[in-house]
């Protein structure tokens, strides 16, 4: 068994999460490892599958069970009011309060290359999942205090999609492919500020440029972003952040304050 590994995290409280976990169990030979609390497959020695009976948003103690994990990748359902079939991925964190897990004003550690490669891989397979939007989200919800990077991979936005075995298979195969190929580093890493919760301009950058993204703060988060939060956005990345990308038309009434704040960092600023 390899000393370092990726931990895929599922919850039996989450329908989509279990649809994906069951795909790994039934189709990729993940089974209970001897004398352990996790599942493993002989085909994927560098992955451990952890199935919790708690909500994914509150799993702040995974470090204790998986101290040598490279990253924690959460398989989750996605909910939205519009109910549009959507496949999303994002880092976690709270710019303000902690209504949905994690600690207030705390961001998890991001893994830009992991997110970028997952997004690119699943977009290349979009012919297999017609009808689904594939987008990133801005950073939100818990867990926020894990010592290793966090990526949420989600299927939504209603029970029809949560139980969709086809989309679950494509999501899982995309993730397995990324891990199998080995992870590297993005040529440029940025944080993103502005735009909607589904930041399409940043999405386009991940797909079409050499940029990877650490934390992303949407327009509705900006009033909570002061120097301390900005410093966290820059520091909480496994890859060094060198740029700040702003959605110039998506900064709203906070534009002047945010621009002044980011100009004081000395990082390169890109407007999109």
Domains, the chain, ranges and CATH? Answer: 5-181 (3.40.630.50), 188-271 (3.40.50.10700)
Alpha-carbon span 236 to 253, nearest angstrom: 26
Neighbours of 271 (CB within 10 A): 12
Note the pLDDT tens digit of each residue in 226-247. Answer: 999 999 999 999 999 999 999 9
Q: Please, is 94 exposed, middle or buried when counting C-beta atoms within 10 Å of its C-beta (0-12, 13-18, 19+)?
A: buried
Binning pLDDT at 50, 70 and 90, where does residue 81 land? Answer: confident
Share of the chain above pLDDT 70, in %: 99
> Sign of torsion, CA 108 87 116 255?
negative
Note the pLDDT tens digit of each residue in 145-204. Answer: 999 999 999 999 999 999 999 999 999 999 999 999 999 999 999 999 999 999 999 999
Q: Is the pTM of this model over 0.95?
A: yes
Please report where in the chains the tokens 């207030």 appear, as a residue.
104
Across the range 198-217, mean pLDDT stands at 97
Q: Is 78 in contact with 157 (CB distance < 8 Å)? A: yes
Q: Please, is 131 exposed, middle or buried when counting C-beta atoms within 10 Å of its C-beta (0-12, 13-18, 19+)?
A: exposed
């Amino acid at each position: 068994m390899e000393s370092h590994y990726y931990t895929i995290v599922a919850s039996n409280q989450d329908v989509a999460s279990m649809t994906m976990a069951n795909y790994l169990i039934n189709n990729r030979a993940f089974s209970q490892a001897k004398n352990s609390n996790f599942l493993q497959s002989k085909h994927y020695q560098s992955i451990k599958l952890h199935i919790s009976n708690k909500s994914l948003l509150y799993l702040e103690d995974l470090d204790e069970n998986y101290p040598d994990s490279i990253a924690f990748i959460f398989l989750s359902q996605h909910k939205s009011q519009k109910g549009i079939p959507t496949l999303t991925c994002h880092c976690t964190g709270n710019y303000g309060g902690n209504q949905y897990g994690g600690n207030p004003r705390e961001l998890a550690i991001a893994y830009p290359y992991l997110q970028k490669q997952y997004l690119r891989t699943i977009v290349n397979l979009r012919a297999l999942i017609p009808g689904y939007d594939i987008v990133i989200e801005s950073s939100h919800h818990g867990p926020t205090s894990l010592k290793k990077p966090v990526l949420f991979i989600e299927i939504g936005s209603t029970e029809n999609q949560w139980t969709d075995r086809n989309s679950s298979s494509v999501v899982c195969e995309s993730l397995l492919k990324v891990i199998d190929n080995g992870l590297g580093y993005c040529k440029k890493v940025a944080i993103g500020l502005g735009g909607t919760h589904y930041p399409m301009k940043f999405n386009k950058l991940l797909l079409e440029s050499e940029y990877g993204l650490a934390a992303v703060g949407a327009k509705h988060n900006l009033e909570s972003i002061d120097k301390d939060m900005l410093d966290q956005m820059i520091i909480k990345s496994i890859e060094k952040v060198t740029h700040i990308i702003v959605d110039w038309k998506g900064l709203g009434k906070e534009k002047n304050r945010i621009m002044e704040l980011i100009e004081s960092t000395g990082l390169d600023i890109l407007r999109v």
